[in-house]
Amino acid sequence: MGSFFDGSQSGPLAGDPRMSGRGQGAAGGISFLGLQTSSFTDFLASHSPGLLPGGVMPGDPDPRTPGQTVRDLPHATTIVAAICDGGVVLAGDRRATAGNMIAKRDVEKVFRSDEFSGMGYAGTGSVGIEFVRLFQVELEHYEKMEGRSLSLEGKANRLAFMVRGNLGAAMQGLIVVPLFVGYDEDSGQGRIFSYDVAGGPYEEQRFYSIGSGSLFARGALKKLYADGMSAGDTLLACVQALYDAADDDSATGGPDLPRRIFPVVATITADGFRKLPEAEAAQIAEQVVQERLTRPDGPAAALRTS
């Protein structure tokens, strides 16, 4: 991160971001050969700011006057994350809503960022997808420019700048809030970072959730989570939490057995990012549903530990 914050690069800490990455070519046009920044987001902001999440392209409607169309864009919820023994688990439901209607039942909300990190998002679906893709390119661009990958905290900080850049659009209703997780190669542990619409990041301990069903999911994890849980037990706890969120929040979708739609679940450990195959996710979801047939309110937490 030294080269990014030494004052010689563009970005929030630089002097004039309008000049980032720009130089006059032989024909008087813009040349990118002299680009020195390792931030792809800064490069894009200097060349085509309308391509950034929340940016306005020529001919687009003014986002300062959102109509019913903006308010009824598909929105994604709910994402949960929990630290496990040797890594972290990230899981998300599949439902997207537009107002009081179900817009889509099989949305992907959990994504790989790079080999040792991943993110999920809650909020406006189209803007969320832009965030995911741009952040993936941002991390790849930095690694190619610097010859090394960012630290986990560095990745979290880069994502914070992107979230802050979307603040204007967020104030008009195009809100996206990510949940970033990763395996810290230095400490050998999983870590969780949350954000608000103005940026962040805030490191969370043990577990966390975002989205409209987050309060119910977090309440479930308070009873189900224990420090040092294996990845398998943590996966099961996260799916249980998503089920409880869907039980009380209409915008969160539970396992849909007839349509074979199940939560997206991923683990990030020393072996890297691993998204569970459909068959494994189905097995966990079906186990949860089967248990709820005899105990609708879910497993009981022990009041005493031996």
What is the distance between the alpha carbons of residues 243 and 292, in angstroms, rounded to a whole number? 10
Tokens found for residue 87: 């890594």
User: Does the active-site annotation cover 77?
Assistant: yes
Residues 6+ apart with CB under 8 A from 176: 53, 121, 122, 123, 124, 127, 128, 131, 163, 166, 170
Catalytic residue among 37, 77, 234, 267: 77
How buried is residue 82: exposed, middle or buried, by Cβ count under 10 Å (0-12/13-18/19+)?
A: buried
Residue 240 · residue 224 · CB < 8 Å: yes
By 3-state DSSP, what share of the chain in percent is helix, strand and coil, each rounded to 5? Answer: 35, 25, 40
CA angle, 152 as apex, 148 and 154 as ends, to 5°? 75
C-alpha torsion angle, residues 269, 76, 154, 118 (rounded to 10) = 20
Strand (E) or helix (H) holding 245: helix 231-248
Phi then psi for residue 183, to 5 deg, are -100, 120
- Look at the block and give the residue holding tokens 């479930």: 220
What is the distance between the alpha carbons of residues 126 and 264, in angstroms, rounded to a whole number? 18
Which residues are part of the catalytic machinery?
Answer: 77
